[in-house]
Amino acid sequence: MATQPGDAWVAVSGGLVERLARRAQAGRWDLSADDFAEALRRSAAHRFTGRPPSPAEVEQYLESLHLEDLALACACARGRESAWDHFVRQYRPILLRIASRGQQADRARDVADSIYGELYGLDERDGARKSLFDYFHGRSSLAGWLKAVVAQRLVDKARAARRFEPLPEDDVSTPPGSPAFELDADRQRSLGLVRQALARALAALEPRDKLRLSLYYAQEMKLAAVGRVLGESEATSSRKLERTRGALRAAIEKRLRETERLTDAEVELCFDHARTDPAFDLARALPPPEEG
């Protein structure tokens, strides 16, 4: 019979939890004994799925964990500010470096930023945020686990991209007598210009501004949550989002006027067309949240 989530925890004493919590420096992150005990229980249940372990086996297993990393992950998942600040300082550069191996810089940042949002927790279940950190069990180092997560996301992203590759022309058929659908030539040109200008404007943003936009638009996080991720107040997040939106529009207008040589009326027409174009929606233009 398969082990239920609590079975691996039955024989573990409170004294062992306290000892492991001291080794993990759980108090550094203001992590409660109950929260750390839950992380240990979840890890043990995951390890011994399929058979009931002996108390000695459970103790030996828990002693072997990367306890400090487990405590940090648990505290981040619980929203402890000190833990999250430490993770941002110590692990965000690691996350970006791992994602950058063999990848274009923009693609690497997109993957790293989407994982960053998942680590904070995008969804809520039963009133609690569901964080990717909950899937870290401490059997490997936190850096090693992040490397595996990034590798899987890159594979998923590549597979998703292939699904949206256009079919070869030979595979596209038009019923006899059906007129081919075409956008109005002027509208088609306007949309092409504004899409290109938007892509360039987004690419030129500072990484932190791009992350703020991605968290708010693509991952639909509330301003308070965005501020928590970035270590700034809700008011600051709102102000900087507004500033970035203004900067994007200014950059797009500048390119349309100076590079494409459009008149003021033509620029406004471009924006009019873009307002009904899905590609101009920031939620689509920015990287979407990855499926967990």
Residue 157: per-residue pLDDT? 66
**Count of beta carbons in the 10 Å neighbourhood of residue 130:** 16
Residue 66: per-residue pLDDT? 95
Overall fold of domain 181-285: Arc Repressor Mutant, subunit A (1.10.10)
Rounded to the nearest 10 degrees, the angle between the axes of helix 105-120 and helix 142-163 is 120
Burial class of 47 by CB neighbour count within 10 A (0 to 12, 13 to 18, 19+) = buried
Domain spans, the chain? 8-155, 181-285
Residue 221: per-residue pLDDT? 79
Positions of E strands within 63-206: 123-125, 128-130
Residue 73: per-residue pLDDT? 95
- pLDDT (tens digit per residue) in 134-157: 889 999 899 888 888 887 777 666
Scanning 101-184, the segments in alpha helix (DSSP H) are: 105-120, 142-163
| Alpha carbon distance, N-terminus to C-terminus of the chain | 28
For the chain, which residues score pLDDT lower than 70?
Answer: 1-12, 50, 101-108, 122-129, 155-186, 273, 275-281, 283-292
Residue 68: per-residue pLDDT? 96
Residue 35: per-residue pLDDT? 92
Residue 76: per-residue pLDDT? 92
